[in-house]
Chains A and B, each alone.
Chain A
Amino acid sequence: GIQVEQSPPDLILQEGANSTLRCNFSDSVNNLQWFHQNPWGQLINLFYIPSGTKQNGRLSATTVATERYSLLYISSSQTTDSGVYFCAVRRNQGGKLIFGQGTELSVKP
């Protein structure tokens, strides 16, 4: 099956810093999503981005489908950005959404 690898596994930032999270996947996909799991466990949809670039406030994401990776950028990080960031992919319509192992982000005040 398709493999999803996220890096780094852990990241500690000072408030106000910028960061880049990476997601590599082993096969072509028709769906890629980025999620933020908050400390209470809720997964929040950040981006649906099978290809291209999107921006939402301080967050942006880029997926280069031909090279099988996606990047999540967080600018001017805040303590509320803390939590685990997951990348998940689906190979085809109706298939399973496969998750990476996540990046645990801790933003210090």
Chain B
Amino acid sequence: GAVVSQHPSWVICKSGTSVKIECRSLDFQATTMFWYRQFPKQSLMLMATSNEGSKATYEQGVEKDKFLINHASLTLSTLTVTSAHPEDSSFYICSARDPGQGRDEQFFGPGTRLTVL
């Protein structure tokens, strides 16, 4: 199957700083990538859909100025958590569809665990 990577796998930062998370599709080109957030013992919640070369589409309740998404190429999307606060601590997971598969299957990165002190 298709491979999606994320970096970093974990990050600890002080309150008020910004953190950038990278998501890469390693063996396919992804015109669309997705960012999810997962709290402990809960399911995945879609935050936004990242489109290559255009603005991201955010889900209701997600602050676009807080979670900046950039999809500059067909293999890279970034999520920047700006002015992070302890309540932003969570597990962030990116995902992409591989159009070359000929079907609508979605693949996920290994996730980034963010802890804001």
Contact = CB atoms under 8 A, between A and B. Distances in A.
A48 B1 CA distance: 11
Given A43-B93, A43-B108, A93-B104, A101 B43 contact: yes
Contacts, number: 47
Contacts of A40: 110
B44 A86 contact: yes
A86 B45 CA distance: 12
Q: How large is the interface on B (under 10, 10 to 19, 20 to 34, 35 or more residues)?
A: 20 to 34
B63 interface: no
A96 B44 contact: no
A90 interface: yes
Nearest to B42: A101
Contact of B104 (A31, A42, A45, A101): A31
Interface of B: 1, 34, 38, 42-44, 46, 49, 91, 93, 95, 103-108, 110-111, 113
Given A41-B91, A42-B111, A45-B107, 8 more contacts: A30-B104, A33-B106, A40-B110, A41-B93, A42-B108, A43-B93, A43-B108, A99-B43
Interface of A: 30-31, 33, 35, 40-43, 45, 48, 86, 88, 90, 93, 96-102
